Amino acid sequence: MSTPSASLTFVPWVRQGVATAINSPDTLTATPHAVVDISVALAVNAQAASSVSVPIRLRGPADVIGIDANQVIRMDPHPGTTDYEPTYFPCIEFDRPDYPWLFTPASADAKSKLRPWMCLVVVRKQAGVTLGTVVNTPLPMLQITGPAKPASELPDLADCWAWAHAQAASTDNSYLAVKTILGGPPQSSLSRLVCPRVLVADTDYIACVVPTFELGRRTGLGTPVTEADLTTAATPLAPAWTLKQGQVQLPVYFSWEFRTGAGGDFQTLASRLHPELLPATFGRRAVSIATPGFLTQTPLPANAELNVEGGLQPTGRGATAEPWDPQVAQNFRNGLITVINAPALNLIANAAADPLLAPPLYGSWHAQKNQATQSALDWFNELNLDPRLRTVAALGTKVVQEHQEALMASAWDQAEELFAVNQRMRQLQLSLAVNESIHARHISKMSDEAILRVAAPAYSRLRATSGNVATMINGSTLPMPAVNAAMRRLGRHRGPMSRRITSQGGPQRVQAQSWVARLSYGFPAPIPPLFFLLGSDNELSPSSGMRSYQSTTAAAVAAQPKRPFWIYPDGQIPAVWPGLPFTNPSFPADDASAADFRRTAIEHLTAVNPGRLPPRVPTRPLVPLSMTPQIMSSTQPRPAFKALADSTLTLGANATPAVVPGATALGVESVMIAPKFPQPMYETLRDLSQELLVPGLENIPPDCIVGLETNRRFVESFMVGLNFEMGRELLWRGYPTDQRGTYFDQFWGVAPSSPPRPDIMPLDLWGTRVLGSANGQPPREQFVMLMRSALLRRYPNALIYLTRAVVVNGVRTPSMVDTDELFPVFSGAMQPDVSFFGFDITPAFALTGNGNGYYLVIQEHPTEPRFGLTVTPPATTIHVNANAAIPTGQPIPSATPPLQWGLNAAQMAAITRRLPVRLAIHASLLIEP
């Protein structure tokens, strides 16, 4: 049924759904039938105890007036291609594996041949060939008339079965495995139409998906199709055209245009590539420093010049700067440092003096320095005192100046929510100031007992040594209701109740005699119950009400007017009350009424609430003084406001609080943001001038591959200048940032197959490292393959990677193990046909790593198969005929069972598929040993 090829399996046809019920084989002629009527058994009830047969008619080619463009997943060549290889057959792929046979009213014959209801034609753009819309037609129309000839532009529909097939991505080509894939996830299967036209170089073509049956052609052009045309016509499945027609009009379901190039497929272009070893002077350009302008007393020699390097350099050069004449360097730096340090020295001499304008000190904000020091060896002084590095940093400045509007627009977009955030933070700052003032002026001056009462509503949220304050009070002598809002209102020292008591001759209420103080200080356990002063008389009233309340009931206590009374739990022995004039009160024994009341109350409470908890027994006294520090600490406004700010505001990686260096953070500071620009910045430098990025690029010959390495000193110098100038631009525009952010950290960018990582670490963390060192940066110089060829322009999906070299039978060869492959971590392109790929290994490791080094592999993408002949057909051949003999010299790939030309569509796909090409070059041919 199927024919395997590499990891792909081709299937000559696919039928899914109700179409599998079609059992009339395709005779490959015009005389089978145009419609398919079948019967479907439907259950009469849910238990399917009985069923009825319902006749239905399947849709056929006469019912199609268009296709879903979303079904198209790939076109080869891509629309608008201008240099397509004439050795390949154009094709189009659909998402559904059964799409080409969806409306074919027949089943496959004994050889698995089945005509599709549509096919792909490719016609040459010429006089007599037009494609456009026509009035009263549902589809665009392709018209071929004189002087163009349909026989030369259209394939023979007699073998249209050969150029439509399905594909399953599986190494297992068994029937069940392929069937499972075709009915499984859509990414593992597809269908394809191939046009077997032999293309001509440098020619414009139009590719069109058109119907293969006459009924489909008529429907697409708006011509009515009757029932008789479907059921009683002599040739209901006549082809949409014949090669004998003088002109043809075809409806077009889908179309695109392309142009062929001068020739050269992947193998041809790859075979032209050759390694090239570049001279040591590559990647440098000479710059004169003879007349810098600031040296008037000690001029430099007239021939004084330095070599400014590029971002890529020959392997082996490393991170060490090229030495220059010590005396020239001394004189140049002396003059330069005088100029660039002048603004800082001017402010030291006179803080009120007007500022001086001088060349920039690149990275001054990040290094927190405003003067350069000639004797220092860190990155800041090295960059600012070396004219070669200052030149590179100035390129970063130039990039920001040219793109400042776009960069600022992006920066403001990133700060879109910053204004609302800072408005909220300013409100919190005001609230914090007000609350700290209130806390200092009022809360902190309260007595211990007053603090207990004022803080009561927040007990459950105030942390203590064990749990919260509420937990501590619940286990103490102070009942929680004693500090609730109602009791605070009743027991205010200057409140209505205290005034009434005082007005009736009672004692003056003072803070030390409050119920909180009485319940909190100095009582032996168990603590006597609460004392209510109802009058000025200090005698106790031994009423039956008091005695009855000694039971577990909550009955009201009847007291004589102006008589104080005590309430004791059952069995409680009265204790001495400190500070009161009476001690050891005693009660007479219960009389009969009291005993009856006690018994009745107990029975009542048992019936009403049998699960009632026993009375609360305090375990320890609560000393307000011991609680004051905890409450005062917990009610400090600053931690609370900081927690509020943290809970309502989440800062991103590029946002920081605006804290003045050396000051203590409050937690509610305004927010600053350092905008981030993830674009690979080599592109902006390349757009300025490719010569700046890679000096000497024009000297690289065509069709060659060279081995290079990254120049970290160049990259870091450029990125410092870029970030420094961006900080100045943000300051000028009033952007909320402190100019110390690293806004750009991607120079080379990141390859799609590589995880994101920066090319530099944050500049404010560089410390005293030197430029190009591995301290705090990517760990090494990286190996880069640079190629100048039209290969990647024509094959943009080609795979570029390194694979480990292994020795097999004494011969060094590329490894075929997936785990031995290394893919690029960055890539880029330059005009007109230069591409480069960086790998996360050193050139030395690529040369000798793992004992045998690595191969550079350039491989055609294996998941986008292409079709065509590997031999050149006769000049008179326009379309390859599957019903004729195989073209002379065309090889047939080995397979089990053997492949046969013209057997079915799967066999034709396997024979004409062009296998991916893989070119491997050992690193020793690219790297100078």
Whether 41 and 35 have beta carbons less than 8 Å apart is answered as no
The helix (H) or strand (E) run that includes residue 784 is strand 783-788
Q: CA 262, CA 201: separation in Å to the nearest integer?
A: 5
Whether 533 and 491 have beta carbons less than 8 Å apart is answered as no
Burial 455-483 (b: 16+ CB within 10 A, else e): bbeebeebebeeebbeebbeebbbbeebb
Whether 404 and 725 have beta carbons less than 8 Å apart is answered as no
For the CA atoms of 711, 717, 720, 725, the dihedral, rounded to the nearest 10 degrees, stands at -120
Q: Looking at the chain, how many residues does it have?
A: 929
- CA-based nearest residue to 708, from 823, 812, 856, 917: 856
Report how far apart, in Å, the C-alpha atoms of 681 and of each of 341, 610, 686, 829, 833 are. 30, 80, 9, 13, 20
Write down the pLDDT at residue 526: 36
> 788 versus 487: which is more confidently predicted?
788
User: In 10 A of CB 177, how many CB atoms?
Assistant: 15
Whether 890 and 871 have beta carbons less than 8 Å apart is answered as yes
- CA-based nearest residue to 314, from 286, 287, 289, 279: 279
The helix (H) or strand (E) run that includes residue 516 is helix 515-520
> 296 versus 590: which is more confidently predicted?
296
Report the share of the chain in percent with pLDDT over 90: 44
> Residue ranges of the alpha helices (H) in 6-164?
150-153
pLDDT band at 517 (very low <50, low <70, confident <90, very high): low
Average pLDDT, the chain: 82
Token pair of 929 as six digits:
């040993």
Write down the pLDDT at residue 492: 72
User: In 10 A of CB 63, how many CB atoms?
Assistant: 14
Beta bridge partners of 655: 673
Write down the pLDDT at residue 621: 58
Given a cut of 70, is residue 581 above it in pLDDT?
no
Q: CA 618, CA 615: separation in Å to the nearest integer?
A: 10
Given a cut of 60, is residue 497 above it in pLDDT?
yes
Write down the pLDDT at residue 500: 77
Residue 678, preceding peptide bond in cis (omega within 30° of 0): no
Q: CA 546, CA 532: separation in Å to the nearest integer?
A: 13
Q: CA 860, CA 88: separation in Å to the nearest integer?
A: 14
pLDDT band at 921 (very low <50, low <70, confident <90, very high): very high
Write down the pLDDT at residue 450: 76
Residue 97, preceding peptide bond in cis (omega within 30° of 0): no
Q: CA 929, CA 927: separation in Å to the nearest integer?
A: 6
Average pLDDT over residues 823-842: 91
Residue 147, preceding peptide bond in cis (omega within 30° of 0): yes
pLDDT band at 255 (very low <50, low <70, confident <90, very high): very high
Edge-to-edge order in the sheet of strand 913-914: 88-89, 866-868, 913-914
Given a cut of 70, is residue 221 above it in pLDDT?
yes
pTM passes above 0.85:
no
Write down the pLDDT at residue 574: 52
Write down the pLDDT at residue 321: 78
Q: Could you write out the three-class secondary structure of 816-858?
A: CCHHHEECCCEEEEECCCEEEEEECCCHHHHHHHHHCCEEEEE
Average pLDDT over residues 234-260: 94
Given a cut of 60, is residue 567 above it in pLDDT?
no
Given a cut of 50, is residue 542 above it in pLDDT?
no
Given a cut of 80, is residue 122 above it in pLDDT?
yes
Query: At which residue do the structure tokens 């130039």 appear?
Result: 398
Rounded (10°) angle between helices 387-402 and 404-414 = 70
Report how far apart, in Å, the C-alpha atoms of 733 and of each of 158, 356, 420, 737, 745 are. 72, 21, 19, 11, 22
Q: CA 603, CA 610: separation in Å to the nearest integer?
A: 10
Report how far apart, in Å, the C-alpha atoms of 746 and of each of 28, 331, 568, 716 are. 61, 36, 81, 11
Token pair of 105 as six digits:
């009213």
- CA-based nearest residue to 181, from 241, 294, 97, 239: 97
Write down the pLDDT at residue 370: 92
pLDDT digits (tens, 9 = 90+) for 792-831: 888 888 999 999 999 999 999 999 998 999 999 888 899 8
Write down the pLDDT at residue 593: 66
The helix (H) or strand (E) run that includes residue 452 is helix 448-454
Average pLDDT over residues 576-605: 60
- Region of poorest pLDDT, from 341-345, 452-456, 717-721, 740-744: 452-456
pLDDT digits (tens, 9 = 90+) for 167-177: 998 878 888 99
Q: Which long-range contacts (CB under 8 A, 24 or more apart) does 557-563 make?
A: 559/534, 561/535, 562/534, 562/535, 562/536, 562/537, 563/534, 563/535, 563/537, 563/539
Q: Which residues contact 587 (CB under 8 A, 6 or more apart)?
A: 542, 546, 547
The beta-strand segments (E) located in 85-179 are: 88-89, 91-94, 118-124, 129-132, 141-144, 164-169
Q: What share of the chain is helix, strand, coil (3-state, %, to 5)?
A: 30, 20, 50
Average pLDDT over residues 222-245: 89
Given a cut of 60, is residue 524 above it in pLDDT?
no
Average pLDDT over residues 650-674: 70
pLDDT digits (tens, 9 = 90+) for 458-484: 877 777 766 777 777 776 767 777 777
- Region of poorest pLDDT, from 21-30, 318-327, 335-344: 318-327
Report the share of the chain in percent with pLDDT over 70: 82
Q: CA 519, CA 400: separation in Å to the nearest integer?
A: 73
- Region of poorest pLDDT, from 226-235, 610-619, 867-876: 610-619
Token pair of 162 as six digits:
């050969």
Given a cut of 50, is residue 639 above it in pLDDT?
yes
For the chain, counts of helices (H) and of strands (E) = 27, 32
Given a cut of 60, is residue 234 above it in pLDDT?
yes
